[in-house]
Structure formats: structure tokens, C-alpha cells
Structure 1
Amino acid sequence: MLPQLKLDDLLTELQARLETVRSTRDRVHALLEAVVSIGGDLDLETVLHRITEAATTLVDARYGALGVIGDEGEHLIQFVTVGVTQEEIDRIGHWPHGHGILGLLIKEPRPLRLHDLAEHPESYGFPAGHPPMRGFVGVPIRVRDEVFGNLYLTEKAGGGDFDEQDEIVLTALATAAGVAIENARLYAAGRRRERWLAASGEVTTALLSGRAPADVIALVAERARQICDARLSMVALADEAAGTFVIEAAAGPDADRLQGLRVPLEQSVALRVYRSGEPSSLLEGQALAGDLEVGPVLIVPLGTGTAARGVIWVGNAPDAPPFRQDTVRLLEAFAGPVTVALELAERRSDAERLTLLEDRDRIAKDLHDTVIQRLFATAMTLMSATKLIERPDVSLRVRRAIDDLDDTIRQIRSTIFALQTPPDAEGLRSRLHTIVDAAAESLGFAPSVRLAGLLDTAVDEEIGEHLLAVAHEALSNIARHAHAGEASVNVDVGDSDLTLRVEDDGVGIPEGGRRSGLRNMADRAHRLGGTFTVQPRPEGGTRLVWTVPLPSES
């Protein structure tokens, strides 16, 4: 019987070892399949999920998580989980970044199992609502010499403990995972650099080709969002006089709510970036536009020192990981050429404006020194000739021609004054034309306009505002009551007074009609020390004459 017993024990031992070999072979096959699986994609988020799924499968764990460590290596910035329901995530809430069990693996990046944690003084601090763990194993994932993150596995199938073989398999998987993660990061960085090069060239070309600045700034916001893979981006330019940042362009969800928004300088997180010229990456940004909340934020300056113009701001959802340093460098590099291109475009615009003003000044001088002088000489000649004309009808015609020449001279002088106004300045002359053009729609025809004198220089702001209000009221009255087919607006700026004449060929002012508009115009004239008259025209219609004195130059 003794030899038989020894043979049975030997067969049992042999069978056990064969099972171990078979199990090891299966694990090696599974590990190889996992390595191939995690290396089959270059999207970082997909790679992280595949690593976590492969780890839970290899060690028969119910729950798996991969924690990504921040650039400063002190806390977790991202968590990828497998086997955890949304209800459990909501119950657990935030993971204890940098504290307790998870913090221990950050401080000591080495394989750890449950019995190692039980003996360590810092292995405490489960999140509130976290279910009890009957098994745990964690291994670091290294990318070159950098600890990228840690794999956490809990609850082994069958309720057993994770053994040394599980630790070895996970360590091998973590090594392969480091290579896959590095490849995915390099691929993502390469794609971002491609977008950066394309965006920089596109924005610079757009600026230097003469596109409208507003369109280019909107393009900057969109390309900044793409470079950083951000949810939302903005370009905010500083208005030092008003003490605010003006959001000139925004891209992404809720961009329409942000466009044109003004943020006080002192209340904005971008102020330090704008003043110092140094980029800033924040884990959590301030709320925007009321209930619009953002998570991680990256802000880079547009220019530094006296050339500072504003900032480029990008943000992600509240639960997104913070922006990495390579993204910060790319956006900062993108902002540099954009600032230079904006400066060059502004200088070119100034040069074009100066050239236009020089051309206008030259034309104005030619009109004044040549055309007006010749017309004036012709009028003087005709005036002297009238004394020699014996026929009254011929003399009358000549006098009318002289009056026409005087009117032409006044019109040319008015044109000279308009030429001397900067093209982008909204003077009183242009505002008055805007009112007349707007009235054409309600009138059904375009009123004639005649503006003579130094309207933009001799009329102060107070009188100008009253003039615009009276002209608007007069044209509104014609549209509502006159039933006119023609109307004219004439403004004469003399040496001491301003006169506005508004005429129409309508039905005139009926007896007993409302006079509130006319009283308002009369009150405005009297308030400025002037006069206001309303009278019928001999050929039909109504003539309004509004005259106010101009302030003396002394």
C-alpha cells in the first residue's frame, strides 16, 4: 500500500502543477491579448478605459479604476472606472485626492495590496458612502521616468484576496500600459501641434489680408478652442478707460450669451494674467453669465507690457481634467503670433487711414483753393455785369445764376468740412444723415438733404443733440400727418447761429390738431435761446424753421 500512496500523491502533485502551468499559460495569453488590445488605439481616453477593463479581467476584479496624477504629482486629476454604477459614483461623491488609500499610492508609487495598506499608518480615509473592500491591489503606471497614474482593483471574484501572481500580472500590464499611454499622448500632442500650425497660419493670413478685425478675433476664439480640445473659448480685450474686459468673441456652447459681455477688471481672474503677461491654469474657473459654470480654465495673455491687449480664455466642463503643461505652451505659442499680427494689422489700418485722410485733405484744398475761388470770381463777374444789363428779365436770370453759384459754393464748403472728418468718426453730419435715411422707410420716399457750414466742429454736443431730436420729430410728423410726396431737410451753420428748415408738400397743419410735437420743438429752441416758427408754404405744405444761437468762440 505504501508505494501506491506515494504514487497517488505524486500524481496529485503532478496534476496540480499541470493546472498551475495551464493557468499560467492562460494568464499569459490573456495578458498578451490585453497588451494588444490597449495598444490598438491612439485616443488617450479610449486607451485608459481599455487598460482599466483589461486589468479587471486579468485579476477577476469586480471594480477597477485608473487615477491620473496631475503634473505637480500631488493629486489625482482624472478617474476612469469600470464596474461602478452611476448610483455608486453619486453616493461616493468625490474621491479623496491626495489622502488616505489613494493618496498613499501617489506618495509611494509601488505595488500595494490590502495587507500592505492595513499595516501602513496612512492607509485610512475611505470616501463617505464607499462600500467596504474585502480585497485591494494597486500598481503604478509609469511613462518613462514619470508616474502617470495608478491602477486600483477591488473585490476579487469569489471573495478571495489578490495574490502575488495578480500583482505580477498587473505590474506587467502597467508596463505595457505606460507604452500605450505614451504613444497616445505623443499622437495627441502631434495632432495639437498640427492644429496649432494650421491655426497660426490661418489667423496671420486673415489679419494681413485685410479681413475685418471682428471676423479674425472670432476665428482666434474658435481655433484656440480646437487647439486645446476645450469646451468653450473666448477672446477678451481690455478696455482700460471703462475698467472692464470686453468679450469680443466666444466659441462653443453658450457662446451667444457671452458675446459682448463686459466683466470688471478687478473681478476677473484674467486680470493677473493681463497685468503680468504670464499664463495661468486653474482647476476651477469663475461662473460666467449667471448660471454658466466652468471647470478647469486656461488663460494666456495677448501681448505683454504696453503692448498688452487682453487674454485668450479657454475652459472645460466642471468634471473635466485640468489642462496639461504642453497645452499651456501651445496656446501661449498661438497667442504670440496672433498678438504680433493684430499689431501689424492695426498699424496697416492706421497707415491706410492716414493715406485716406491725406487724400481727403488734398482734395479739400484743391476744392477750396481752385474750384471755390473760380466760382466766386465768376459770381463777382456776373454781379458786376448785372449793372450793364438793361432788360429786367435778363438781369433777373443772371441774379438767379449768381444765387445758384452761391448755393454751389456753400455745398462745396460743406463737402470740404465732411472730407476733413475722420472716416471712422461718427460726427453730427453722419448722425443727421442716419436719421434722414431711417425716416425714408416710413415716408415712402427719401427726403432731400442740404447741410452747409461747420456742422461737426462749430456745433457743440448739447445743441447737436437738440438738433437731431428736432429733425427726427419733424420727419416723424411728416410721415404721420402730412401725406406728403416730397420733403427736404436744410441745415445752415453760420457764424453766430444754426438754422434747421424742414419742408414738405403735404396737406399742411389742420386746425385743432395735436400740437405736442411742435411744442417740444419750440421748447428746445427757447431753452437754447432761439426761435421756432411753423408756417404754410405758398406752393402748399408746411415749413418748420428752428434757429438757435451758437456759443461764441471767446
Structure 2
Amino acid sequence: MPRLPMLLEAVLGIGTDLELRATLQHIVGTATELIGARYGLLAVADPDSGKLADLFSAGLTPQEHESVLRIPGGSAGLLGVLFRDPRPLRLDDVATDPRALWVPHSDPEQRRFLGVSIRVDTEIFGSLCLTAKESGPFTEEDQALLQVLAAQAGIAIGNARLYGTARQRERWIEGAAAVTTALLTGESAADALMTVAESARALADADAGVVLLPTPEGGMEIVTASTDDDPAGILGTTIAPGAPVLVQLLGGEPVFIEDSATDPRMTTHVRSRFGPSMMLPLQSGGKLIGTLALPRRRGARPYTAEDKLLATQFASQAALALVLADAQHNREQLAVYEDRDRIARDLHDLVVQRLFATEMMLESTRRRAGTTELDELVGRAVDELDSTIQEVRTAIFALQQPPADAPTSVRGSVLRETDGAAALFGFRPSVRFTGPVDTLVNEAVGRRLLAALRGALAAAHRREGMTAMEVEVDAAFRLPDGHGGVRLLVTDDGVREDGVRGTTVTWQAARGDAP
């Protein structure tokens, strides 16, 4: 066999690269050179459907390569025949075989065909085919050489697949670990979902990473989308309750789709943008907390069985990480509340009681004082202590409020308004409450009081030179007619338009329904 040295060199050469796609391209190029053909094709079969999944070529133009990939139904013509029938196929004129769906040229001498199957272990991985032999028809020797090369190619492909699978598993494991670490560092809920979407998209080589969350109506809505393009057309898309794809997801089953644009289970308007897709349930404790979707663009290579397995495992890990992150956030928030309660108790039990005791001592001293000057001095000290006690009690109340929740009480709403004004003023207004404000002031009057407070704060902000402000809400106030009322006093030291320093705004109303 005069070409034996070339065959040995080819056999040695095709096993040197462990990257699968590089190995496949090298195989088809080596076969074309060894046999003396003008065109070479290595077709990869989809193990689930038996259709053409990928194609590597030598000698074809990009347009010819694409025309083979677009063979209707993915049957791949004679290339696909070898997926199902492993016997070698040798033809002098490919155009005479009705199974041929692609002919490179009209010249009969360039339509000679030789094809063999490639096996990896016991599985038919694909087919290796040559056309347009330059020195004449394909011979039995050509066929034997190509079979030997295909057998060696099967070994090289098996090794490359094992290496690729190991590397792919390593990337997914590292990705899952990175996501878990990121989620447990205290990210917000929106950031946590985006971390999952972006990581999964990169690992799966998808065109989008999408997270859907259940809606109150029983459907699912896209709340997070990671794409190269503007995700605005994707966010907010909703899968209606009862959709077939939801039935599978709610049952804890992943959904694998060959073409999102044509699959009847897909009902949203964005499906036309995508082809192969995976929809993976994010569940914990048997409860579906969301869905991770990883679509590829139309015409992209389909997901392999290994892709599906690793993505499903990633989704399980991500769901657990999301639950753990949420639990950690709740624990941290509870710890903050407990610490605030402890501080509030300490202020009440220690500071307020001591201040009150000091105030009583000073009051007793004032009654026994003999001079007017000393009496006034002690009186001012007593008033200052009383104001301090009121402010400490206000601080205690603020500590007991959930910081992220909108206040529902009058007292809480007043504090929230003055806290917001502090950012504008550069200092925090002093706030004092007299009487059981939340008990005596109803909702309607409370709304009017808050409106008056906002107006007073806005007016004060326009005054120059303001360095202090006092806000007092008195629920023990008596109206001129003797009925119980509520009074708001807002006093500041800013300079008015008439040049006078100091302004007091007064608002009052009955404690019942607003008049």
C-alpha cells in the first residue's frame, strides 16, 4: 500500500489535539488530503433525533457549507444515511442516488462520493464523506484507507469528548460555586437573580439568560434578562397560566426545546427570536421558586445531552443558593431588629430613667432655692432635660420601626418626613411628641397634619441661615371650645424675607374627623 506512510502520519496527527472541534476539523482536512478529494465533509449526528447537528468541511465555500446545514428537516441526505446504516457508501455519480440532497457541482467527474460512518465506542457519532476525487473514481483502497482513518478518528473523538466533558463539568462546577459565593455575600434580590442569569448564560454559551418568577395569577413573568442586546423587549413577558410548558415546570420537569419559534409549547411573542432552548425549574423543598431559561439564537447548534445534564444540576444548585441567600438576609435583618430593640430597651431602662431622676432632683432644688436668678437657671435646666427626655423617647420609637417599611402610624410618618428633610437641611430637626399621638389622632387628621408638616418643611428650606428646627406634635392640646385637639408647631431660626430671624408655623385641628 504506497500510501501507508501517509496513513500512519494521518493517524498520528488526528490524535494530537484534545479540543473536540479542532479535532473534527483536523480529521476532515486529513481525510481529504489522504484520499486526494477536493471536498470533505464530517457530519455530526444528534444522538436524540438522529439528524444533522453540526458540520465540518474542507474545500467548500462558506455559502456551500451553509447550504448543507440548511438541508430541509436536518436529514443531511447521504450524510444522514450513514448515521443509520454504518456500511460504507461509494458512488460514481452522487446525482443518481435519490437520497442525495446536495450536489457540489454539475460536472459528473466532480460528483464522485465516498462515505463511512464514525463510531465512538458503540455509538455512531457521525459520518465522514469525500467528493470530487481528482484522479478518478474512488477505489476499494480509498475506502479501506478511509475506514481505517474513521476508526482512528473515533478514538480521537472519544478522547477529545472525554477531555471536553471534564473541562465542561469543571467550568459548570466552578460557575455554580462562584454563584453561591456571590449570593451569600449579601446581594439584593434583583442582583442575585441577575448573577444567576449571567453566569448560566456564559456557561451554556446561550444568547440569553432569563429568570422567570411565578405571578399571583398562576403564570410566570420574566423579571431578569441577560443578553447582548437590549433586554427591554424580553423583560415583563408573561407565560399565561395553564400553558403546556408551565405544566411541566410546575411538575419539576425541565423543558428542552429544539426550536422555540416553532414549538407549540412556546406561546410568548419573544419565541421568534430564539431556537434551541432549555427551561430549568428553580425549586427547593419541592416548591417551584422560579425558572431559569437559556435560549440560543435561531439556527444555533442544539444543546447536547451533557449540556442539559450540567445545566439542570446548575439550576438545582442555584435554587439552593437563592434560598440560602434569602434565609441569610432574613437572619441578618432579624439580628439588626434584635440589636435595635436592645438599644431601645437600654435607652428606656437606663438613660430615660436617669434623666427623669435628675429632672426631679433639679425640680426639688428649684423649690428650695432662695434667689430668683438661681430659680430661673434651674428652671431652664429642667426644661432642657424634659426636651432631652422627649427626644430620647422619639429615638427609641424610631429604633423600633422596620427601616425598610413605610410607617403606618402618625408618629412614624412624622419621623419619616423629618428624616427626609434632614438630608436637605444638613441637620436633623428636633422632634417632640406630647400625649398618645397614635391613639388619639385618627387617620384623616393624620393625613392633614402630614400635609401641613410637609408645607412647613418646604417653606423652611427656602429660608437662609437656618441651623436649627424644632417640630412638636401635641395630642394633649385643648381647642378654644374645650374639645380635645392636636397641634403641630414647626419652629426654625432661618431668616425670613423681611429680614427677621425665626419663624413658627402653627397648625391645629380636632382629634376626631377632619372638619
Q: TM-score normalised by the shorter chain: which range applies?
A: 0.7 to 0.9
1:435 aligns with 2:420: yes
Return the offset for 1:177.
Answer: 1.1
Work out whether 1:322 is the aligned partner of 2:298. no
Cα gap change, 1:164 to 1:357, in 2 (>3 Å):
same
Partners of 1:494 and 1:225 in 2: CA distance: 59
1:123-167 superposed Cα distances (whole Å, 9 cap, x missing partner) = 15449xx75472222221111111111123222226x43333332
Q: Deviation of residue 48 (structure 1)?
A: 1.3
The one-letter amino acid paired with 1:233 is: G
State the distance in 1 between where 2:356 and 2:285 align. Answer: 56
Match of 1:484 among 465, 473, 480: 465
- Within the candidate set 47, 56, 72, 2:32 is matched to 56
Q: CA RMSD in A?
A: 4.3
DSSP-derived class of the 2:465 partner: coil
Q: Is the 8 A contact 2:32 2:40 kept in 1?
A: yes
Q: Following TM superposition, by how much is the alpha carbon of 1:188 offset from its aligned partner in structure 2, in angstroms?
A: 0.7
1:263 matched to 2:218: no
1:399 aligns with 2:365: no
Aligned positions of 1:53-452 closer than 5 A: 53-89=29-65, 94-96=70-72, 97-98=74-75, 100-114=77-91, 123=99, 125-126=101-102, 131-132=105-106, 134-157=111-134, 160-207=136-183, 219-230=195-206, 232-238=208-214, 240=216, 244-245=220-221, 247-248=223-224, 250=226, 253-254=228-229, 257=231, 261-266=235-240, 271=246, 274-285=249-260, 293-304=273-284, 307-376=287-356, 378-379=358-359, 382-383=362-363, 386=366, 388-389=368-369, 391-427=371-407, 428=413, 431-432=416-417, 435-440=420-425, 446-452=426-432
How far off its partner does 1:84 sit?
1.9
Per-residue displacement from partner, 1:221-275 (whole Å, max 9, x unpaired)?
A: 454345434454345555658965454574x734x74799443243999745642
SS in 2 for 1:482: coil
The answer to whether the Cα contact below 8 Å between 2:449 and 2:488 also exists between their aligned partners in 1 is: no
SS in 1 for 2:495: coil
1:478 Cα shift? Answer: 5.3
Q: Hey, what's the Cα distance between the residues in 2 that align with 1:212 and 1:193? A: 28
Assess if the C-alpha contact under 8 Å between 2:39 and 2:58 holds in 1. Answer: yes
Show the 5 A alignment for 1:496-507.
497=486, 499=488, 501=490, 503-507=492-496
Unaligned ranges ≥5, structure 1: 1-23, 441-445, 511-535
> Residue type of the partner of 2:44?
V
Deviation at 1:415, TM superposition (A): 1.4
Does the Cα contact within 8 Å between 1:276 and 1:304 map onto a contact in 2? Answer: no
CA–CA distance in structure 2, aligned partners of residues 68 and 458 of structure 1: 79
Cα distance, 1:474–1:80 mapped onto 2, change above 3 Å = farther
The whole-number CA distance in structure 1 between the counterparts of 2:234 and 2:370 is 71
| Change beyond 3 A, Cα 1:135–1:437 | farther
Cα deviation, 1:100-145, whole Å, max 9, x if unaligned, reads: 444433333332233697787x615449xx7547222222111111
SS in 1 for 2:2: helix
Contact 1:248–1:259 at 8 Å: present in 2 too?
no
- Cα shift at 1:305: 5.9
Paired residue for 1:525? none
Distance 1:99 1:191, change over 3 A: closer
C-alpha separation between the residues in 1 aligned to 2:234 and 2:28? Answer: 44
Contact residue 478 and residue 484 of structure 1 kept, 8 A: no
Supply the AA of the counterpart residue of 1:283.
E
User: Does the C-alpha gap of structure 1 residues 99 and 231 become closer, same or farther in structure 2, counting only changes over 3 Å?
Assistant: closer
2:155 aligns to what SS in structure 1?
helix
Change (3 A) 1:241 1:352: farther
Q: CA deviation at 1:184?
A: 0.8
How far is 1:294 from its partner? Answer: 4.1
- Whole-angstrom CA distance in 2 between matches of 1:60 and 1:193: 39
Over residues 482-528 of structure 1, what are the superposed CA-to-partner deviations in whole Å (9 max), with x where a residue is unaligned?
A: 333435363637476473726351342x7xxxxxxxxxxxxxxxxxx
Cα distance in 2, alignment partners of residues 186 and 501 from structure 1: 76
Q: 1:259 to 1:101 in 2, by over 3 A?
A: closer
Does the 8 Å contact 1:277/1:305 carry over to 2? no
Q: Deviations over 1:358-390 (max 9, x none)?
A: 333333334334543454455456556655555
Deviation at 1:458, TM superposition (A): 9.2
What is the DSSP-based 3-state SS (H/G/I as helix, E as strand, rest coil) of the residue aligned with 1:484? coil
* The 10-residue stretch of structure 1 (232-241 or 337-346) with the greater mean CA deviation from structure 2: 232-241
The answer for unaligned runs of 5 or more in structure 2 is 408-412, 477-484
Q: 1:330: how far off? A: 1.8
Preserved CA contact (<8 Å) 1:448 1:489 = no
**Change over 3 Å in CA distance of 1:291–1:199 after alignment to 2:** closer
Which deviates the most, 402-411 or 37-46?
402-411
For residues 439 and 203 of structure 2, what CA distance do their matches in structure 1 show?
Answer: 49
2:238 partner letter? P
Note if contact 2:431-2:471 (Cα within 8 Å) is conserved in structure 1.
yes
Q: Which amino acid aligns with 1:56?
A: T
Query: How far apart are the structure 1 equivalents of 2:429 and 2:244?
Result: 51
**Quick one: distance in 1 between partners of 2:437 and 2:2?**
96
